[in-house]
Structure 1
Amino acid sequence: MRLATIVPAEVDFSDPAAPAAPAFGDVYHSRAGALAQARHVFLGGNGLPGRWQGRRRFVVLETGFGLGNNFLATWDAWRQDPARCERLVFVSVEKHPLRREDLARAHAASPLPELAAQLVAAWPPLTPGLHTLRFEAGRVELLLGLGDARELLRELVLQADALYLDGFAPARNPELWDEWLLKSLARHAAPGTTAATWSINRPMRRALAALGFKVCLAPGFANKPEMTVARFAPRHSPQRPAGREPLAPEAREAVIVGAGLAGAACALALSRAGVACTVVDALGAPAQASSGNPTGLFHGTVNPDDGPHARFNRAAALATQRLVAELGLPHQPGLLRLETRLPLAAMSRMDGYVQALSAAEAAALAGTALAHPAWFYPGGGALDPAAYTRAMLAASGAALRLAAPVAALRESDAGWALLDAGGAVIASAPLVVLAGGHGQLPLLGELATGLVVQRGQLSHLPQAPWCPALPIAGEGYAIADGRGGAWCGATTQDGDLDPALRAADQADNLARYARLAGLARVPEAPLAGRVGWRLIAPDRLPLVGGLAASGPAASQLRLQARRPGLVVCTGFASRGISWAALAGELAAALALGGPRPLEAELLDAVDPLRFALRRARRTTIAALPD
């Protein structure tokens, strides 16, 4: 999947009662009122709020986010309903989203000022892909897909309870109403899923009926005498691919192995979904392994083709930016990544996410001379990973079981039990998440094949000759410590388990620091720093997902049956801070069955079974006759 740069909407506000989209020659909502229209057509047409009452989770899927009034009306109805579902997930796609300032203008006189203000404040940078915005302490979630609906609907992994069909008029925006797109919507429906729209377009109604919906007309809103409502009632119930089935959909308790960044992020995401978590770790306190480094960077990446690595890192960096702000975590905001050549101008259009700067522009931000142009990540920066870990654990309310090494797992009818070296049960639950680092490799079995344990040493200069005003990365990195010193690093040695600080490694770090700073001489400093270990997959992406069930391997990851109640979230390499928030959200969604916060292609890119599938394919090819 390749997503083009997002082109923001141009909105004509000359008629305050009905903002218009000149590119489509249509208005965003009826002059009779956006919220009134949303309540009559989309909530009423889908039987809401009644249908979500008593549910653990209710999922709405919308075509065309527009000004966001349908979301605000649905959120308000959820708020007002004492019998509301535990969690409301609203998924919407939009090819031409509003700029933040236009969104604020559209809701300047909103009848729901508090909710509208929260939406404007949470509005993401206009970058392609999925953005998860959370409200009501995570109980209301907006999964906003920016890009072409025809691409995004094919990549979404979710099961919707209600469909809002709300593009511009079929005659003006036919791509959002044709049979191809409606078929993509139907793939996300289950028997009983409802749909509603203000349109009574006959080809649209015929297409819905052909896809298994029972379609009828209902009283319309304002000057429209009729509208369309539908209910999915196919002759044959569609089967979901085995690899997309939730791993523990009814779990209310979970045990997480690992009290570092990965484990803390999983505990936070699961707790927000109503799961009580216990975090078990072999060490005596949280964040004592790699997550115990004194500081670390978080930021995304860019590349010319916007491939899976760039898209995953972008989604992860934006998720981290949101969570760090939500937790109120102290950090050094902004990050410069130096390049030896001027970055591609085409990639600099992702405003709010990354900007391409000349050497002079980058130097002005850094407060010091720089020899190269740079990517500037305004939402990136540096923080204390141990503080981040502790903040996530505190927000999750998870119970901690420390100094409790896990030697084995045992499956039972009730879930999984964690055993110590003597075979005694440490903890048990219907859901277990393996979210430790290299210390948990024995628990991963064949999944550990090909993973690399990499030693890294970072160094500290107590009196640094060069302290940039914001973190700088390139060939190595430099982070001011706020006391006139700086951290720099880091070395990489595969398979090296030596915990001692080495003078040779410090020399390497200081040499990289000198090159970043443009210093004529490498500075001297007493041997000081920290050693840690990274767990790295061959393709430099994490492992997040389920393990294969026994039996023959499937030809595709989405078809592979998984072991129930068991999730892996590991292999964070040197990007633990950047990846933890998104990986935790994904682990929770895979376990409980909520909408996945990543596109299907990216789910495959981080699937723990991807390497086994590639090995099997190579074996099959090698066995073919010449």
Structure 2
Amino acid sequence: MKSPSILPADVDFSDPAAPASPAFGDVYHSRAGALAQARHVFVAGNGLPGRWQGRERFVVLETGFGLGNNFLATWDAWRQDPARCGRLVFVSVEKHPLRRDDLARAHAASPLPELAAQLVERWPPLTAGLHTLGFDGGRVELLLGLGDARTLSRELVLDADAIYLDGFSPKLNPELWDDWLLKSLARHAVPGTTVATWSINRPMRRTLASLGFDVELAPGFANKPEMTVARFAPRHVPQRPAGREPLAPGAKRAVIVGAGLAGAACALALSRVGVACTVVDALPGPAQASSGNPAGLFHGTVNPDDGPHARFNRAAALATQSLLAELGVAHQPGLLRLETRLAVEQMLEAPGYVQALSADEASAQAGTGFAHPAWLYPGGGAVDPAAYTRAMLAASGAQLRLSTPVAALREADGGWQLLDANGQLIEQARLVVLAGGHGQLSLLGDLGEWAQGLVVQRGQLTHLADAPWQPGLPVAGDGYAIADGRGGAWCGATVQDGDLDPALRDADQTENLTRYARLAGLATPPQAPLAGRVGWRLVAPDRLPLIGGLAAPGALADQLRLQPRRPGLVVCTAFASRGITWAALAGQLVAALALGAPRPLEAELLDAVDPLRFALRRQRRPGR
């Protein structure tokens, strides 16, 4: 699914009481008041706050985010309710989102100034796909899908407790009200799901009734005497795809193997959905293996087709940008990636996410002379991965069990057991997450068939204590260079498959310094004493991570979404050289997969990172 460019909304603010859309010829909300309308039609129309009381999680699905007043009204109602659910997830789709400045203008006089300010502050770059925005310490989550509702509704993986049907008038915006979209939304309904909308459009009501909803008219808001409410009560409940079932529904405790970036991110995400975590690692401290480099890059990628790699990396990079800011982790903001294959005029841009720079513009940013244009990722940059890991672990409140090698994994009644080399029990939990690198593969035994084709890659990076060029921004391209803030620079990194030699090598340092010289525009590579670090990466054949559940006994289904999984076991691994970029999103995905919450990725991208994807391909094409 190629993602189209996002066309922002143009808003007419000439009538402050009712901002309007010139493109659709309609107002965003009633002149009687946006929040009053949202509270009457959507909050009360869906039986809230009563219906979320006593629930662990409540999920709202909305068509048409607009100015965001329905979200703010729902969030405010949740905050004001002492018997509220533990977690509110609000999923909304918007084809033409507002620019940040317009959103701020729309809420300049908001009756909910604190909430509106937080929404404006966290407003994402306008790029296609799902954006996860966390509020109230992660207890309120806005999963904002930017793009066509007709496309995204098919790609969402969630069960909705309430549906807000919003948007401009059915006559002016028919695509948000037609049979096709309503059928797509109904796939996210479960018995008891409610629907509310200000519209009483008859074709819409007939379609809802045909889909299994009990449809009624209720008193409307302001000048509309009636509105529509409905409840899903189908004669036959559709069967859920086995591969989309939660892996550990209701789990309150998890054990995570690996105290690096992946494990820390999983601990943080799980803690935010009410799961207490214990993190186990063989080494005496966190982030001492692959996550132990002194500096590393994070950024997205761009390609003309906007395929799964570009879309996953974009979502991951934006999640990292948001989490680093939230945790207050010090980092070098901004990143230049040199591009030798495309001219600047051929590059597409996404404001706030990536910008094309000419060679001269890129050179001015980096403090040297480049022969090629570059991508500027303003939200990318460089960070100390160990500091980032420690910050995530601290925020998670996880218990750490360090210097504790795990030798075996065993399924047991009610969960999984971690055993030491003598077969003694280390930990047992209903939910276990394998979030280490190549060292954890031996734990899986007969469960490890999915890991065929993974490669352990050695990498050496080099430290220049006295660097002739310290880039003004981290630079990537043919190698990378990062200023260390002390007059030196880190550069690298080499790649050797299957090489387990831990010693620093002169040949690798020469290779790194040669790349550094090319980036810096130096005639000859600098000379420096042998200094740096060696680490190992676990790399999948398609250069995407492996995140998800493992196959239940028996042959694989012909689709990943239909494949039953072993309960309580999740893998989160093969981060290659993108551990910093991928960790935050990977942790969110692990938490959603474990507990059955709305997934932070589209269905196509879930398949793209599913750990069973290679086994399924081999099954379809034996011998390949």
Q: Distance in 1 between matches of 2:489 and 2:371?
A: 20
- Contact residue 242 and residue 560 of structure 1 kept, 8 A: yes
SS at match of 2:348: helix
Q: Distance in 2 between matches of 1:558 and 1:347?
A: 35
What are the Cα deviations for residues 249-298 of structure 1, in whole angstroms up to 9, with x where unaligned?
Answer: 11000000000000000000000000000000011110010100000000
- Contact residue 356 and residue 374 of structure 2 kept, 8 A: yes
1:54 lines up with 2:84 in the alignment: no
What's the offset of the Cα at 1:346? 6.2
Determine the structure 1 residue equivalent to 2:367: 367
What's the offset of the Cα at 1:341? 4.0
- Contact residue 259 and residue 286 of structure 2 kept, 8 A: yes
- Contact residue 157 and residue 600 of structure 1 kept, 8 A: yes
Q: Distance in 1 between matches of 2:72 and 2:250?
A: 29
What's the offset of the Cα at 1:511? 0.3
Which segment is superposed worse, 343-352 or 246-255? 343-352
What are the Cα deviations for residues 501-544 of structure 1, in whole angstroms up to 9, with x where unaligned?
Answer: 00000000000000111110111000000000000000000000
Q: Distance in 2 between matches of 1:423 and 1:175?
A: 60
Determine the structure 1 residue equivalent to 2:492: 489
1:39 lines up with 2:49 in the alignment: no
Q: Distance in 2 between matches of 1:345 and 1:139?
A: 43
1:70 lines up with 2:70 in the alignment: yes
- Contact residue 5 and residue 349 of structure 1 kept, 8 A: no
| 1:410-489 matched pairs, under 5 angstroms | 410-444=410-444, 445-489=448-492
Determine the structure 2 residue equivalent to 1:549: 552
Amino acid at match of 1:276: A
What's the offset of the Cα at 1:413? 2.1
SS at match of 1:568: strand
Which segment is superposed worse, 345-354 or 302-311? 345-354
**In 2 relative to 1, CA 26–347 (structure 1 residues): closer, same or farther, beyond 3 Å?**
farther
SS at match of 1:459: strand
What are the Cα deviations for residues 79-98 of structure 1, in whole angstroms up to 9, with x where unaligned?
Answer: 00000000000000000000
What's the offset of the Cα at 1:3? 1.6
Q: Distance in 2 between matches of 1:342 and 1:546?
A: 39
Which 4+ runs in 1 deviate beyond 3 A?
A: 341-348
Q: Distance in 2 between matches of 1:419 and 1:99?
A: 53
**In 2 relative to 1, CA 68–108 (structure 1 residues): closer, same or farther, beyond 3 Å?**
same
Amino acid at match of 1:161: D
TM-score, normalised with respect to structure 1: 0.98
What's the offset of the Cα at 1:366? 1.6
| 1:52-451 matched pairs, under 5 angstroms | 52-343=52-343, 345=345, 347-444=347-444, 445-451=448-454
What are the Cα deviations for residues 354-379 of structure 1, in whole angstroms up to 9, with x where unaligned?
Answer: 00100111112223322211000000
Q: Distance in 1 between matches of 2:179 and 2:451?
A: 45
- Contact residue 343 and residue 375 of structure 1 kept, 8 A: no
What's the offset of the Cα at 1:345? 4.4
Q: Distance in 1 between matches of 2:345 and 2:612?
A: 37
Q: Distance in 2 between matches of 1:344 and 1:360?
A: 11
Determine the structure 2 residue equivalent to 1:596: 599
Q: Distance in 2 between matches of 1:159 and 1:319?
A: 23
Pairs aligned (count):
621
Determine the structure 2 residue equivalent to 1:606: 609
Q: Which runs of 5+ in 1 are unaligned?
A: none
**In 2 relative to 1, CA 50–345 (structure 1 residues): closer, same or farther, beyond 3 Å?**
farther
What are the Cα deviations for residues 569-600 of structure 1, in whole angstroms up to 9, with x where unaligned?
Answer: 00000000000000000011000100000000
| 1:466-545 matched pairs, under 5 angstroms | 466-545=469-548
- Contact residue 302 and residue 347 of structure 1 kept, 8 A: no
SS at match of 1:546: strand
Q: Distance in 2 between matches of 1:240 and 1:543?
A: 23
Determine the structure 2 residue equivalent to 1:569: 572
What are the Cα deviations for residues 274-324 of structure 1, in whole angstroms up to 9, with x where unaligned?
Answer: 000000001111001010000000000000000000000000000000000
Q: Distance in 2 between matches of 1:105 and 1:204?
A: 33
**In 2 relative to 1, CA 298–498 (structure 1 residues): closer, same or farther, beyond 3 Å?**
same
Q: Distance in 1 between matches of 2:46 and 2:415?
A: 36
SS at match of 1:130: strand
State the superposition RMSD in angstroms. Answer: 0.9
What are the Cα deviations for residues 354-409 of structure 1, in whole angstroms up to 9, with x where unaligned?
Answer: 00100111112223322211000000000000000000000000000111111111
SS at match of 2:121: helix
Q: Distance in 1 between matches of 2:291 and 2:338?
A: 25
- Contact residue 368 and residue 521 of structure 2 kept, 8 A: no
SS at match of 1:236: coil
Q: Distance in 2 between matches of 1:568 and 1:409?
A: 13
Q: Distance in 1 between matches of 2:364 and 2:60?
A: 46
What's the offset of the Cα at 1:342? 4.0
SS at match of 1:348: coil
- Contact residue 342 and residue 358 of structure 1 kept, 8 A: no
- Contact residue 192 and residue 233 of structure 2 kept, 8 A: yes
Amino acid at match of 1:261: L
Which segment is superposed worse, 406-415 or 601-610? 406-415
